[in-house]
Chains A and B, each alone.
Chain A
Amino acid sequence: MSSDDTPEKSGKPEPIEEPEQQRAPEGPSGQADKGDEAEKAPQPDEAAASEKPDKPDEVSRPERPEQPDRSEQPEQPERPEPAPPEDDTPEPVTSAEEPAGAGPLTGRQRLAKGLWPPRLTRAQLIVALLLCVLGLGLAIQVRSTNDSSALRGARQEDLVRILDELDNRTKRLEDEKRRLENQQSELESSSNQAAEARKQTEQKEGQLGVLAGTVAARGPGIQLTVSDTKGKVEADMLLDAIQELRAAGAEAIQINNVRVVADTYFSGAAGRVEIDGKKVSQPYRFKVIGKPQDLEPALNIPGGVVQTLEKEQAGVAVARSEKIIVDALRPAKRPDYARSSSQ
C-alpha cells in the first residue's frame, strides 16, 4: 500500500514544470490543498488496487524528477500538520475551487483542459492510436458477437464438444430411423401376408362352404327330374342316384329344396321319402353341378339309375344345362365331438 502511495504522490510532481509555481501558493492556501487532500484521501487505497499498470511509474518516475521527489516527500508530512487546525473552517470545497487557476488543477479542470484545446502532442497522438485500436477491437467484437450465431464466439473445445454432440445425435437419430424403417417394412410384409392369408382363407371358405352346403353354388351341370306318380320310388333308389352322380364327379346336389351333403340321409318308405328328416314329395328334381358330359352318361348307362327307375314306372328326364343354381342351404353345424387333429 504505502509503496503504491509513493508513486501516487511522487506522481504528483509529474507536471513538475508548472507545479513549480503552483506549489508556491500552496503554503499560504494550505487549506485549499487540504480540501483536495480530504477528497483524495480515500483514493490512494483504490489507486493501490487499480493503478497497478502504472506501477512502472516507480521505475520511470524517480529517474526524472528525483529532486522534486525528495522535496515533495518531506512536504507531505507537513501538510497534514497545518491541516488539523484549519479543519474547523467548513469551506474546503469552495476554497478548493478558488485556487484552481493558480493552485493544483482539480481532476475536472484537467479533463476540460485535456479535452478542449485540441493539442497535437505526441502523447495525444499515441493515446489516440491506442484508443483507435481499442475501438476497432471493440467494434469487431461487438459485431461478431451480434451478427452471427453463438457458435462464432465459442471456444475451440466448446465447438468440438458441440460437434461431438451433434454427431452423436445424428447417429442416434439415424439408428432410430433405420429401426423404424425395418419395423415399417416388417409391418408391410406382415400385412401383405395377412391379406394373402385372408384371401386364401376366403377361397377355402368358399370351397368348404360349397361342400358343406352353407353357401349357394352355381355352374354347369344337369337337371334330373324323377316323377313318381305311382309312389314306387324308394329312398334307396334316390340314394343310388346320388351315389352315381357323386361317382361321376358331382360337386353340389340339391333335391327339391334340400341340399345334399356329406351327412345327408334318406329315410321313409316309397312315396313318402324323407331326406334329412324333411319330407320330399314327387317329382324329385335333382339339381347337380358337375361336368354335364360325365354326369349324363353316368345316369344313362345300361342297368343304371335311369333304367332302374323306369323299371319302377317312374318318369325320368335328364337335361343338361350350362347354368345350374344350387341355392338350398344348410346351417353350418359345429361338431360336438370331432375335432381337427391338425391343431
Chain B
Amino acid sequence: MIAVLGLIVGVVVGLFVRPVVPTVVEPYLPIAVVAALDAVFGGLRAMLDGIFDDKVFVVSFLSNVVVAALIVFLGDKLGVGAQLSTGVVVVLGIRIFSNAAAIRRHVFRA
C-alpha cells in the first residue's frame, strides 16, 4: 500500500514540479525507467510468489537501472547507441511480459 502511494507520489511530483534533468543523464532516463519497470514487475511477481525480499528488490532495481544505463552509455561510446538501446528495451520488454504473465496467473488464475 505504501509502495503504491510512493509510486503515485512520484508521478504527481514529476508531473507538477517539472524537475530539470541534467543533460548528461537525459539520454539514459528512458532506458533506466524501463529497467526499473522490469525490476518492479519482477518484485511484484516475487511478492505474489511469496518470495519477495526487499534487499533483493533494492539490489535488482538499482543494478537493473545502472546496467541498462551503462549498456546505453557504452553503446553511445561505441557508436551503436541506438541499436543497443533498442536491444535493451526489447529484452526488458520480454521480461516484463513474462513477469506480467506470471502476475496475471496469480491474480486472475488464468
Contacts and interface: CB of A to CB of B under 8 A. Distances in A.
Interface string B33-74: 100111110110111111111111111110110000000000
A125 B95 contact: no
B33 A134 contact: yes
Contact of B95 (A49, A108, A126): A49
Interface string A133-169: 1111111110111000000010111100000000000
A128 interface: yes
Given A134-B33, A137-B36, A155-B81, A50 B102 contact: yes
A301 interface: no
Nearest to B1: A118
Of the listed residues B7, B19, B26, B32, the one surrounded by the most CB atoms of chain A closer than 10 A to its CB is B7
B14 interface: yes
Nearest to B3: A127
Given A54-B56, A155-B27, A124 B51 contact: no
A72 interface: no
A106 interface: yes
Contact of A128 (B3, B29, B82, B105): B3
Contacts of A139: 10-15
Contacts of A46: 98-99, 101-102
A13 B15 CA distance: 41
A220 interface: no
Contact of B18 (A7, A54, A143, A156): A143
A292 interface: no
A135 B14 contact: yes
B21 A110 contact: no
A279 to B, nearest CB: 103
Contact of A43 (B7, B38, B47, B102): B102
Nearest to A108: B107
A50 B59 contact: no
In the complex, which range does the number of interface residues on chain A fall in?
35 or more
A82 interface: no
A137 B35 CA distance: 11
A8 B52 CA distance: 11
A327 interface: no
Given A50-B98, A107-B48, A139-B15, A14 B6 contact: no
Contacts of B30: 141, 145, 153
A278 B99 CA distance: 120
B21 A140 contact: yes
Nearest to B99: A50
Given A134-B7, A137-B32, A156-B76, A107 B56 contact: no
Of the listed residues B27, B50, B106, the one surrounded by the most CB atoms of chain A closer than 10 A to its CB is B50
B53 A60 contact: yes
A130 interface: yes
14 contacts: A12-B50, A43-B102, A49-B98, A53-B64, A107-B106, A108-B48, A115-B1, A130-B40, A131-B3, A135-B9, A135-B12, A136-B13, A141-B29, A143-B18
Q: What 6 A-B pairs come out closest when comparing CB atoms?
A: A139-B14, A135-B10, A107-B106, A128-B6, A11-B51, A53-B60
Interface of A: 7-8, 11-12, 14-15, 39, 42-43, 46-47, 49-54, 56-57, 60-61, 93, 104-108, 110-111, 114-120, 122-141, 143-145, 153, 155-158
